[in-house]
Structure 1
Amino acid sequence: MDVPTNLFLIGAPKCGTTSLVSWMAQHPEIYSPKPKEPHFFYSPTRQRFSEIEYLRLYRGAPSKAKYVCDASTSYLFGGAYKEILREVPSARFVVCIRDPVEMLSSMYNEQKKSGFELADDLRSAWQASDARWAGEHRLLNNVEVVDPRFFSLKHTCALGWQLDDLLNYAGKDRVYIVLLDDMRNDPQGVFRSLCRWLDISSEQEINYQKKNSATRNRSETIAKILRTARRIKRAVGFERSMGILRWIARLNEEDTTHPQLEEGLFDEAKSYFKSDLQIRNQVLRDLGTQRAHANVENYNT
């Protein structure tokens, strides 16, 4: 297969990737289609593009685009960069990261909204982590989920070991890391720095509007019908999009706030992620181009 992509925003989920890819899509030298996450090289669920679907998604890439972007945020966890580099030796990888304890509630909320998570509360999902990591579909939608390990909050939110594996395999020159705190505080500076790393113009006018704020489904029944409709649409190869499903999905959304970690779970998570955060911060120091915002001392038990 002649892979059409050469730039990969591979994670992490709920770390600002939707905002970043929306900025990238506005740059004339980067092509990023919708949907942004085809999950072709790895998917923890059945929502995975076939080879035909993947090629079809990118066939509209203009010849002037220096980069064609796949923004599937499951790739970091799934180690998809290994297969990607075999197929695209010149591939470059961008990774967004955030504090792991902050990431917990965002991940749970997203998985619950998507219909994959069946746990009624964040504590129950956290406690199911070890079983899921061992391959059990505990409190998961086993019709949709094919890799329960991805839904182990203890492991998916532990970004240090994932970054370490990525750099050891791909090398420092192929990886650019963006901290969510930096995106919040200086979006223009973050994006211009990324453009310089990609060796493209950093003077483009970009709308730095925040994307993908926390929402939930008004009706789980409607959400389930929409997921089924999307699968059928892709299965029959229906390409034309009139935006009806997206319109209904938006009507079915309402703003929400991420569930707060109870004090006991907050302390447990801080203790659990302390060693991984040390790995993450060492990775950032080794890169020499990023700084670690999180203070490891704050993760003392």
Structure 2
Amino acid sequence: MNLIKPNTFIIGAQKSATTSVYNWISQHPSVCGPSALKDYPFFLKEEFFDKGIESLQEEYNTQGFNNQKIVLQGNVQYIFDVKAIKKIYDFNPKAKLICVLREPSERALSAYKYFKKLNIEKLTFKEALNREEERSRNSLQAYFDFTYKAHGMYAQQLKAIFNIFPKNQLLVLLYDDVKSSPESVMDEIFDFLELSDKHPITYTTLNATGEVRYKFFQNLFFNKSKARKFIVDNLIDPFFPLHKRTKIRWAFNEWNTKKVNSKDVHAADYTEEIMKLKVYFKNEVIELENLLNRDLAAWKQ
């Protein structure tokens, strides 16, 4: 039996509407994109990579793989880890990569609020920014989740990718375009993927940061206690395949999240931090403009 191998990857950036974009692409009949493999860290973590591509077959088959042209997989941390990009290249040097970039200070705040919502982040935003470098050395989770400034260094990340992949194999999108003109963005994506037959898309927004409806249930569901780990490892994971666990997690997140305008809610609470971040990212944004030959004036306001 021939193995089903992903050939297209959503690589990031974190908190930039990648879950929605992944879902929209997956709606095309020429695409097989299991929701369970969005943010599955196959090329990030050795424990998953060492299982081989065989470990992904059930998810593609469950999704109804039928020799579709595009086989999708993704993780928002791929753009942040050049070793993962190199593994993807070694796996398939002709792979196509898609990333969505969000104004970096806004992205940083959204990520902070998201991890607060998950009951993972315990510091204030100011403390988290000041202690980022120190914390990033403490654990792999801190390196990937709490590096709010480092994640916004897009020019550096893209230059590292262009040292591995040809530029024409990476499609760079902007979060603001995804939000304001999703139809145009999807036309651009389908052209990039050489899918000439356009397909109607249901434009549902997924994995919005929002705010927690019921903190008690949020803490219960995402608590990192040893008791919860024992239950998950011994009573849930062995009996519920990845796609079912993913559906349960997404359903809970959607149910327990109040949708809010990320630019307006409590914005005044973080004015000082955002202003400092704007200064911090100024040169990086200019470098990104030159790298992509794209006007990012809105990011400088």
TM range (shorter): 0.7 to 0.9
CA contact (8 A) 2:119 2:223 kept: no
Write out per-residue CA displacement over residues 204-228 of structure 1, whole angstroms, 9 at most, x where no aligned residue.
1112233332234422432225974
CA contact (8 A) 2:285 2:296 kept: no
Report what 1:201 is aligned to.
196
Matches within 5 A, 1:81-230: 81-119=85-123, 121-133=124-136, 135-137=137-139, 145-146=140-141, 148=143, 150-217=145-212, 218=214, 219=216, 220-224=218-222, 228=229, 230=232
Report what 2:282 is aligned to.
274
Provide TM-score, normalisation by structure 1: 0.81
Cα separation, 2, equivalents of 1:90 and 1:246: 31
| Matched residue type, 1:223 | F
| Matched residue type, 2:107 | M
CA contact (8 A) 1:158 1:273 kept: yes
Q: Which runs of 5 or more residues in structure 2 are unaligned?
A: none
Write out per-residue CA displacement over residues 237-275 of structure 1, whole angstroms, 9 at most, x where no aligned residue.
632838555544444433456552633222211111011
Cα separation, 1, equivalents of 2:120 and 2:50: 18
Q: Secondary structure at the match of 1:191?
A: helix
| Matched residue type, 1:193 | E
Q: CA deviation at 1:185?
A: 2.2
Q: Secondary structure at the match of 1:271?
A: helix
Q: Which runs of 5 or more residues in structure 1 are unaligned?
A: 138-144, 286-290
Distance 1:208-1:63 versus aligned 2 partners, 3 A rule? same
CA contact (8 A) 1:132 1:151 kept: yes
Larger CA deviation: 83-92 vs 217-226: 217-226
Matches within 5 A, 1:225-264: 228=229, 230-232=232-234, 235-236=237-238, 238-239=240-241, 241=244, 246-256=250-260, 258=262, 259-260=266-267, 262-264=270-272
CA contact (8 A) 1:10 1:72 kept: yes
Distance 1:202-1:12 versus aligned 2 partners, 3 A rule? farther
Report what 2:20 is aligned to.
19
Cα separation, 2, equivalents of 1:17 and 1:11: 7
Cα separation, 2, equivalents of 1:115 and 1:43: 23
Cα separation, 2, equivalents of 1:48 and 1:236: 19
Q: Secondary structure at the match of 2:164?
A: helix
Cα separation, 1, equivalents of 2:65 and 2:159: 34
| Matched residue type, 1:101 | S
Greater helix percent: which structure?
Answer: 2
Q: What value does the CA root-mean-square deviation take over the aligned residues?
A: 3.1
Cα separation, 1, equivalents of 2:130 and 2:16: 22
Q: CA deviation at 1:168?
A: 2.2
Write out per-residue CA displacement over residues 155-203 of structure 1, whole angstroms, 9 at most, x where no aligned residue.
0122221112112221112100111111122211111111111111252
Q: How many residues align?
A: 283
Distance 1:49-1:195 versus aligned 2 partners, 3 A rule? farther
Cα separation, 1, equivalents of 2:298 and 2:261: 25
Provide TM-score, normalisation by structure 2: 0.81
Distance 1:246-1:172 versus aligned 2 partners, 3 A rule? closer
Q: Secondary structure at the match of 1:153?
A: coil
In percent, how many aligned pairs have the same letter?
23
Cα separation, 2, equivalents of 1:234 and 1:6: 30
Q: Secondary structure at the match of 1:69?
A: strand
Cα separation, 2, equivalents of 1:233 and 1:31: 30
Cα separation, 2, equivalents of 1:236 and 1:27: 32
